[in-house]
Amino acid sequence: MQSLNTVLKTIKDVANLHTQINTYAQGQAYDFSASEALLYPCLWAIPQGLTIASGSDSLVGNSVDYRVQVYMMDIENNDGTNEIDVLNDTALILLDIIAYLDDSLNDNNELSLSGVGNLEPFVDARLDTVSGHSCELVFTAAFLKDNCTGIII
In this prediction, residue 147 carries a pLDDT of 54
Contact 33, 126 (CB under 8 A): yes
Looking at the chain, the whole-number percentage of residues with pLDDT higher than 90 is 57
Q: Are 28 and 107 in contact (CB under 8 A)?
A: no
DSSP three-state, residue 101: helix
Q: What is the mean pLDDT of residues 142-150?
A: 64
Give yes or no for residue 152 having a pLDDT over 80.
no
Q: Where are the alpha helices (DSSP H) in 18-137?
A: 83-106
pLDDT tens digits along 96-129:
999 999 998 876 668 999 999 999 999 876 667 8
pLDDT of residue 118: 95
Which of these ranges, 6-10, 67-71, 77-81, has the smallest mean pLDDT?
Answer: 77-81
Q: Which residues pair with 46 in a beta bridge?
A: 69
The pLDDT value given to residue 63: 86
Q: Please, are residues 105 and 73 in contact by the beta-carbon 8 Å criterion?
A: no
Please state, for a pLDDT cut of 70, what percent of the chain lies above it: 77
Residue 73 pLDDT > 60: yes
Specify the 3-state DSSP secondary structure of 24.
strand
Binned at pLDDT 50, 70 and 90, residue 61 comes out as low
Contact 20, 95 (CB under 8 A): no
User: What pLDDT digit, counting tens, does each position of 79-91 carry?
Assistant: 889 999 999 999 9
Contact call for residues 139 and 66 (beta carbons, < 8 A): yes
Q: In the prediction, which pLDDT does 28 show?
A: 81
Helices (H), the chain: 4-17, 83-106
> How many beta carbons lie within 10 A of that of residue 28, not counting itself?
10
